[in-house]
Amino acid sequence: MSARTVSTEELELSLRGISKHFGGVRAVADVSIDVRRGEIMSVIGPNGAGKTSVLNMVSGFYHPDTGTISLKGADITNEKPSEIARLGVARTFQNIALFKGLSVLDNLMLGRHVRMKAGVLSSILYWGPAQREEVEHRRWVESLIDFLKLQDLRKQPAGALAYGLQKRVELGRALALDPSLLLLDEPMAGMNQEEKEDMARYVLDVNEEWGTTVVLIEHDMGVVMDISDRIAVLDRGEKIAEGNADEVRANPAVIQAYLGAGEQSAEAAHG
């Protein structure tokens, strides 16, 4: 079945032939992916497939050796991470990257920093001109705390929280940017089943209620198949498949490269 042609106006993000090498190691090789506005696109593949490298290039932490990256039609290939964040791209990290000595509230306020004209330090310390702006941003952050059900933990140091709650705070810090594009790098890694279900619900709510476009890297295939609109599959830095859950689940190249051998049925992709 041929895919419907997507107009530029419908695209939130477009990767065209991006490649990245680290010395003699090829991390990503000529990958092209289009992410439509308002969808959840998952990027999956075995360890070392290049998934996180793709997210690092989109967010500006790496620049591709070849190829282009466009956000809403504008070239961001060589932009700095701070500029890409200002344009509305937020991300979480595979390893928790919170300021563990700061409270939940302050961590979320830091996620708001690119929207603040007064600057991070003056906002945290509540200096002079920052006061009026702080009230406005505090209102937004408090709504996030309610959304993520962190009301009783707002004054707790982030580092004192259970692992699953720290992952939720990291999601909140990314959402504090009020992004149009949210990049999630294994947001459910290390969680138990109940925590995974909660995180999946938050991701769906952000996408459905706020209209936020989501690019998700996740190893839990059950979650991926359940919540993704489309899925791109990487193997050894190359894209080997793309489509909806049913198409990817039935793709022989995916079964071989990602799930393992031919006896592993499509059902294995759902478990």
Q: Does the pLDDT at position 56 exceed 90? A: yes
pLDDT confidence of residue 194: 94
Least confident of 79-83, 114-118, 255-259: 114-118
pLDDT digits (tens, 9 = 90+) for 182-196: 999 999 999 999 999
Q: The whole model's pTM is what?
A: 0.86
- Which residues contact residue 224 at a Cβ distance below 8 angstroms, ignoring those fewer than 6 apart? 42, 44, 216, 218, 231, 245
Is the C-alpha dihedral spanning 158, 151, 59, 239 positive or negative? positive
Q: Which secondary-structure segment (H or E) carries 72?
A: none
Report residue 228 as tokens. 């993704």
pLDDT digits (tens, 9 = 90+) for 6-51: 666 789 999 999 999 999 899 999 999 999 999 999 999 988 899 9
CA–CA distance from 88 to each of 112, 156, 174 (Å)?
11, 28, 10
